[in-house]
Every structure is written in C-alpha cells, then in structure tokens.
Structure 1
Amino acid sequence: MANLRRKLPPLTALTAFEAVARLASFTRAAEELGVTQAAVSRQIHLLEQTFGYPLFRRLHRRIEPTENGRLLASTTTTAFNLIAETIADLSKEEAEDELAISATMAFSQFWLLPRISSFSKAHPNLKLRIVTQDNVINVDSGEVDLAIRFGSGFWPNGHVELLFNDEIFPICSPEYAEEIGELHDPAELTRYPLISNDTTDPTWTGWTEWLAAFSVAAPARPSGMRCSFYTEAIYAALNGHGIALGWRRLVEDLLAQRRLVRMTDKAIVTRNAYFLILPRRRARKTSVDLLIEWLKDEASTLQIP
C-alpha cells in the first residue's frame, strides 16, 4: 500500500484533472467540484510538475488534452466510474439487508410483533424495521418495502395480495365473564358495558353493525368505555371494563393464553380482509419474497370459515 501511494499523485489533483478533461473547462470543473477556478488550476499545475510534462494545451478560449493527457483522462475516468459503481453496489447490498414493514398499531402489536421473531431467527442477516402507522401509506414512496392493511383490496398506489380474512365476536376477561354468567342470545349483550373505539375507517366493524347482523339494535346510549384506538379497547377488556369486539386474527394469542374469552359462539365474517401491499414502480427486494412466504405460512395456521 505504501508503494502504491508513492506511485500515485494526490487524489485531489486527479479528481480535478478528471473533471477538467471530461468537461473541457477549468471553470465548469471548478463549479462541479465546488471550488475556485484558481484552485483547480493549482491542482493541474501540481500534476504537470509531478509528471514532468503538460496535460493540456491552453488555446484561445479553450483547452484540449495533450496525448498524455488523453491517455490519463481515459484511465482516470474508467477508474472513477469503477469506484462509483462498486460503491453503488455496496450501498444496494446494504439496503437489501433492511426490510421495512408497515402495519397498523393493532396489527403490529397483537399479530406481527408476537410472531416476527421466528422470521428473524430464520433470516438473521436481515434487519427489520417495523413502521407502525394507521394512516394510508404510499408504498411506491420508498419509505417501506411492504405494508399490511385491512380493507377492500383496492389500493391505487400498490400491488395487492390477499393475506387472510377475519371474523368478529364479543370478548371479555375471564373474571368479567364469570361475573355476568353465560349469555345465550346476542341481544343480552346490550345489558352490559360495550367497549368501543373511534375510527373513520369505513371497513371497520363496530357494535352497531355487529349487533345488526343478528337483528339486534345497538343501545342508543351505550354505557361502555369509548377508546381512541382498538388497542386501548382490548386493554380495557383485559382489565374487566366490559365487553369488546374481538377480531380473531388480532386476539387469537390472548384467547389461547386465556387472558380473554369469547362471550358467545356467534360471530360474523368480515366483508373485507387483510392484504399485503407491495410497490408497483419499485423493484422488489429478494427479502420481500421471503417475508411474504413467511406471512402466508403464519396465516395458514388459522383458517376462518
């Protein structure tokens, strides 16, 4: 390496020379490099002193490389391009190592995060970034590699693949269920606090729609707690504040752990479903295909009728 340094002129001077030769102008080279024209001239003069021969002919209002200058310019440009391409490839590989997944707060907290460790263990070289946000996201923007959303399956800014559908039923804590006893008819639910959450999403099913499916009118003035997010509604149910609607895909772990229980065997299957949203205009990373395969394998463990 030391011998190589002695054989090469200063890199700053070579950079200035390559720019002057490519642009055929000291002025334009100075503008591209963000230095003064005098600074570029000094670097070229330094090279010519080092080599012992001129690199450019200074003509009236223009310059042109000498024969030695043309040879050095060709080699320098090729070398710089090779370095730039290598750096770009390395940067691409680094980007490939990170996989950004967007999911809603509820899906991320109740479904994705409890399971994603198995994917990480299978692919330890991938860096995962979970972007939790309930708002609509444009996957073509480059912010994320894949988004998971509940809806109709129509997203104008992305390619869509079905992940799974869902079913909804009333849930509460085991202690609260024991306190109120067994329920035999959906209409009996209206006697108790019904926990709800605010949403502007037209695809979301609330108590009014769920009860209407069984020809039951929702209370005009429900007595249950009203939360801002679905995650809060579930935590309210966990803490015995009443009965919430359980989206099976989101609460299946809590049901398996007996932290929540079903209040009735009545359920409705959602009209909409969970979808994977992928970029249309950006190349898909290889790691995205690995993630999709894993997501669909996880989804297949629970089939909703």
Structure 2
Amino acid sequence: MANLRKKLPPLTALTAFEAAARLSSFTRAAMELGVTQAAISRQIHVLEDDFGFPLFRRLHRKIELTEKGRLLSAAAGDAFNLIADTVADLRSEGADDELAISATISFSHFWLLPRIAAFSRAHPEIKLRIITQDTRTSIEASDVDLAIRYGTGTWADGQAEFLFEDEVFPICSMDYLQAATPIRTPQDLVGHPLISSDIDDPTWTGWDEWLAAFSVKTAKKGRGLRCSFYTEAIYAAMNGQGIALGWSRLVSDLIQQSRLVRLTDASIQTRAAYFVVTPARKPKKESSRAFIEWLKATAA
C-alpha cells in the first residue's frame, strides 16, 4: 500500500484534473465540485508540478489537453467510473430502492410536486428523493437516477426520452386584470409592467422573442419587475406585480385554481421541449422505468 501511494499523484488534484478534462473547463469543473475556479487552477498546477510537465494548454478563453493530459484523462475517467459503479452497487445491497430525481425549481414546484403523490400511491415500495436545482450538472458524475430537463434533447451525459412541448402566453392575477385597461391582443400589452426572469438558456422564451413573434415593439427600458428565477416571476404575477409569460405545462394548475388568468388567445410554441434523461453509461433501474412510464402517462 505504501508503494502504491508513492506511485499515485495527489488524489485531490487528480479529482480536479478529471473534472476539468472531462468538462473542458476550469469554471465548469469548479461548479461541479463546489469550489472556486482558482482552487481548480491551483490543484492542476500541483499535479503538473508533481509530474514535471503540462497537462493543459491554456488558450484564449479555453483549455486544451496535451497528449500526456489526454492519456491521464482517459485513465482517470475509467478509474473513477469503476470506483463510482462499485460504490453504487455496494450501497444498493440490502438498501431500500431510492430513486433520485433531478428537476429545475420551476418544473419541480409547479408540475412535479403537485402530481408526484399519485406515483407514490401506485409504487409505495419506491422511496423518492427530489433534487431541485437550476444549475445543470452531469448526471453521470452524480447519484441522480434520472433528470427532467428542458432543451433540445441532446446531452452528452445521458439518454433523453421526449415528454412534451409547451406553449407560452401572457398571464396575470385576476386583481391586476380587473384594475388594468382591457388586454385583448399582444399590442395591448405595451405600457404594462412585464415581469421577466433571468434564465441563461438560449432556448428559453422571453418577452423580446414573444412580442417579436407578433411584430410588437416595446421600449428597451420598459416597466416591469426582473426576477432571478421563473418561480419568482410567477409569484410576482400572482401578487399583482404585472404580467408574466406563462408556460402552459407549468401554470395550468394555477389557471384552473383562478390564481392566474390567461391574457389573449395569442401564444407561441416553445423552440425546445421537456425530456427525461437517464445516465448513458449506467444500467437503468427498475424504479426508473416505472417512474418514466408514469411521467409519460401523466404528461399525456
């Protein structure tokens, strides 16, 4: 064992290197490991000093593995995957069947949690763990069994199965609607406070794209509240702060409960869709199959 330790590089540095090499980014590696970018950079330097040669080429706004870096990346990736699979098998022996499900805050809050009790009633033997996060992490580098994602359906870390598309239209509270001037067309929205959310996803539909679809122009510095998350935008709309964009699948329950009101018949189809994603290199659990079948039936 002592000889083995002498042959191995510092394991903390090797972990940072494996993540940076796999993600081709110090920044994304830092996000995945929950540390700063500077910490990742320091660990890479520790490893390079230990080896006595560079593992990355530092280019303008990107990094690139050297030939020796590629060899180490392949070996480290295989070793870490083998350890992870073995640990997962050991943990599952004799344990309850727990299904870890990842979803965004808005999808979990507005669609999944209001419906998931039906799955638990049908499958009381399956223990559920909901992981709510807007930051997307590798499904293969975590203990997540399946993830519900919005996008194009092409992700390198998993196999995607289509769930549903969506449509987007303006919504507000009943109190706001009664106090506002009549809103019957997209042009009537001009001048109202439009609630937006900061979502770093080019496939997400915001106000600029929605209004442009109906040839409506608004002032660049229009009125309206700007929120960090879509859930905040929806709650702001329910509290009468103005008008938000409602994604039909997410706000349908709130409309049925009269907590929100749809404005105009105008809507646009989303450019992307919702998918359920399972790890590409891990066997699919029976509980995952049951949950996906329930998801598709409920979505339909």
The corresponding residue for 2:107 is 107
Bigger Cα Rg: 1
Mapped partners of 1:156, 1:105: distance in 2? 22
Mapped partners of 2:272, 2:95: distance in 1? 33
Q: CA deviation at 1:179?
A: 1.3
Q: CA deviation at 1:137?
A: 2.2
Give yes or no for contact 2:98–2:126 (8 Å, CA) kept in 1.
Answer: yes
Q: CA deviation at 1:140?
A: 1.4
Give yes or no for contact 2:182–2:188 (8 Å, CA) kept in 1.
Answer: no
The corresponding residue for 1:286 is 286
Q: CA deviation at 1:218?
A: 3.1
Q: 1:177 to 1:282 in 2, by over 3 A?
A: same
Where 1:251 maps in the other structure, the secondary structure is: helix
Please report the TM-score for the alignment, with normalisation by the length of structure 2: 0.69
How many residue pairs are counted as aligned between the two chains? 216
Can you list the C-alpha shifts for 1:7-28, whole angstroms capped at 9, x where unaligned? Answer: xxxxxxxxxxxxxxxxxxxxxx
Mapped partners of 2:89, 2:162: distance in 1? 33
Please report the TM-score for the alignment, with normalisation by the length of structure 1: 0.68
Mapped partners of 2:97, 2:246: distance in 1? 36
Alignment of 1:14-29 (within 5 A): none
Would you say 1:222 and 2:216 are equivalent positions?
Answer: no
Share of identical aligned residues, percent?
A: 59
Q: CA deviation at 1:219?
A: 2.4
- Letter of the structure 2 residue corresponding to residue 272 of structure 1: A
Q: 1:217 to 1:97 in 2, by over 3 A?
A: same
- Letter of the structure 2 residue corresponding to residue 264 of structure 1: T
The corresponding residue for 1:152 is 152
Q: CA deviation at 1:190?
A: 1.4
Would you say 1:202 and 2:202 are equivalent positions?
Answer: yes
Can you list the C-alpha shifts for 1:184-206, whole angstroms capped at 9, x where unaligned? Answer: 22111011000001121111111
Mapped partners of 2:171, 2:185: distance in 1? 14
The corresponding residue for 1:270 is 270
- Letter of the structure 2 residue corresponding to residue 164 of structure 1: F
Give yes or no for contact 1:159–1:277 (8 Å, CA) kept in 2.
Answer: yes
Mapped partners of 2:256, 2:167: distance in 1? 16
Q: 1:143 to 1:179 in 2, by over 3 A?
A: same
Q: CA deviation at 1:94?
A: 4.4
The corresponding residue for 2:189 is 189
Can you list the C-alpha shifts for 1:128-156, whole angstroms capped at 9, x where unaligned? Answer: 00000111221112420000011111101
Where 1:290 maps in the other structure, the secondary structure is: helix
Q: CA deviation at 1:102?
A: 0.2
Q: 1:284 to 1:175 in 2, by over 3 A?
A: same
Where 1:140 maps in the other structure, the secondary structure is: coil
Consecutive unaligned residues in structure 2, runs of 5 or more: 1-87
| RMSD, aligned α-carbons | 2.1
Q: CA deviation at 1:182?
A: 3.1
Q: CA deviation at 1:91?
A: 4.5
The corresponding residue for 2:240 is 240
The corresponding residue for 1:140 is 140
- Letter of the structure 1 residue corresponding to residue 234 of structure 2: I
The corresponding residue for 2:256 is 256
Mapped partners of 1:267, 1:138: distance in 2? 33
Where 2:100 maps in the other structure, the secondary structure is: strand
Can you list the C-alpha shifts for 1:247-284, whole angstroms capped at 9, x where unaligned? Answer: 01110110110100001110001010001111110111
